[in-house]
Amino acid sequence: MKALSLLVLSAICAAAISCGSQDKTAVGVNDNNTNKDSIANAAMADTANYSSIEWIDSTDQNLGTIKEGQVVDLSWRFKNVGTKPLIITHVSAGCGCTVPDPPKEPIAPGKEGKIEAKFNTSGQTGNPMKSVIVRANTKQQEYQLNFSAQVTKQ
């Protein structure tokens, strides 16, 4: 518990003094890349404080038929079913057409969170299949969230 408290306190302090631009492809508990990487690495290595994640929404989504040029909002809800805070340490998309937006704070046991993303369909006609990779302080450590669509020309 002391290690977790120290980890959360470090994240809060780092967030309070950090500056710079936000990297939407790799957002963890704060926005400073150096501190974020250190905190993420510590959370991933601390097996005593691993949590468990349960995906409420399917990890595979079909967006149906959409017109090229639209920007589509997506989300995948999850619940922390573990006994320790759940820390999303890294989220990335397979290409630049998808911009993920994960929670920036740890998710308390029993609470829900969500991974959001925006999919820009410009230049994506046909049947694109895309993915978002999520890393967290869980035994599995990495999850793949998929989505597909039929994108038609305007």
- Report pTM: 0.73
How far apart (Å, rounded) are the C-alpha atoms in residues 43 and 136?
8
SS3 of residue 143 by DSSP: strand
Domain of 24 in residue numbering reads as 2-152
Mean pLDDT, all residues of the chain: 81
* Tally of domains within the chain: 1
CATH of the domain at 82: 2.60.40.10
Give 69-122 pLDDT, tens digit per residue: 999 999 999 999 999 999 999 999 988 999 999 999 999 999 999 999 999 999
Q: Is the CB of residue 121 less than 8 Å from the CB of residue 72?
A: yes
Work out the percent of the chain whose per-residue pLDDT is above 90: 66
